[in-house]
Amino acid sequence: MQAILYYATLPLLYLVSVLPFPVLYGLSNLLYFLLYSIIGYRKDVVWANLKNSFPEKTDAEIKIISRQYYRYLCDLFLETFKTLTISRGSMLRRCSMSARAQKLFDELDEKKQSVILVMGHHGNWEWGGNTFSLCCKQQLYVIYHPLKNRYFNKLIVNMRTRFGTRLIPMNDTFREMVKNRKETSATAFIADQTPSPQNAYWTTFLHQDTPVFWGTERISSKLDYPIVYVHISRKKRGYYELDATLLIEHPRPLAEGAVTETFTRKLEAMIQHEPATWLWSHKRWKHKRPAETND
């Protein structure tokens, strides 16, 4: 059944990938109408997430952000499949790297310093990974969750590794990072996913009790790699820019929770500045804070 679904879908995905961008965004407009106005995909989740995250905004303001989000989500979905066939030149035109980010990564490479990249589901993170691999000398590794469908998993792996990126299954993260210590690398953690509430660091994020994975903090403390925050901003439709700032140079000496708090506050500020391009349809706050937990 997995194979039938895969081979039935594959031609459509490649057809989407070769569409000219004006046609692609015309298709996205249609998808937006279906998703937002007809199907109403997770509209209650998006509305609740936005209302709780921005209590100071009016319903009219929330509705504007909600509509902007759905337009972005449809663009993002189709843009992702462009990676199947997009050229290097087109990729770099569509997702550029800021001069500040290029300078930072060049300096780190000159020092032969491996780094940890932290980011959220903000902007087009798929294109951001491609741009990093095309512009930077460090070997990029991205932590990912393998899909249950092995055929689609292979497709996603091939798509994400076209420009030199390598993937590490989440459960193998620390072991693989230790194994790769002889090379100058950058390992990317998309750190705004939802962990089990019992084994998470709990904090306040966008006015809500929020669990955060411990993994990024614990691995960075053990390896003492500098932590760089990466942000993919949407400049206009179909065009993004990767920017980066050195967040923490030496995480090992810091108190427990400091790395996680620093990243969380940075991501929070970026979302507040550019709210429409974060993944609001994700059920980020489905868990309640346990009665006794770290703060």
Tell me what the mean pLDDT of segment 74-85 comes to.
97
Which helix (DSSP H) or strand (DSSP E) does residue 127 occupy? helix 125-135
- Reply yes or no on whether the pLDDT at 180 is more than 60: yes
Q: What mean pLDDT value characterizes the chain?
A: 95
Tell me what the mean pLDDT of segment 9-21 comes to.
96
- Reply yes or no on whether the pLDDT at 292 is more than 90: no
Domain that holds residue 73: 1-82
Residue 163 is assigned to a structural domain of this protein? yes
- Does this model's pTM top 0.75? My answer is yes
Tell me what the mean pLDDT of segment 165-169 comes to.
97
Residue 294 is assigned to a structural domain of this protein? no
Amino acid at 68: Q
Which helix (DSSP H) or strand (DSSP E) does residue 50 occupy? helix 43-53
Q: For residue 36, what are the β-bridge partners?
A: none
Residue 286 is assigned to a structural domain of this protein? no
Residue with the bigger pLDDT between 199 and 222: it is 222
Please indicate, yes or no, whether residues 155 and 136 belong to a single structural domain of this protein: yes
Residue 83, SS3 per DSSP: coil
Render pLDDT for 129-164 as a digit per residue (tens, 0 to 9).
999 999 999 999 999 999 999 999 999 999 999 999
Please indicate, yes or no, whether residues 266 and 213 belong to a single structural domain of this protein: yes
Please indicate, yes or no, whether residues 74 and 171 belong to a single structural domain of this protein: no
- Please state, in angstroms and rounded to a whole number, the distance separating the CA atoms of residues 252 and 263: 15
Render pLDDT for 190-204 as a digit per residue (tens, 0 to 9).
989 889 888 899 999
Please indicate, yes or no, whether residues 212 and 172 belong to a single structural domain of this protein: yes
pLDDT given at position 193: 86
Residue 289 is assigned to a structural domain of this protein? no
Render pLDDT for 45-70 as a digit per residue (tens, 0 to 9).
999 999 999 999 999 999 999 999 99
Count of domains for the chain? 2
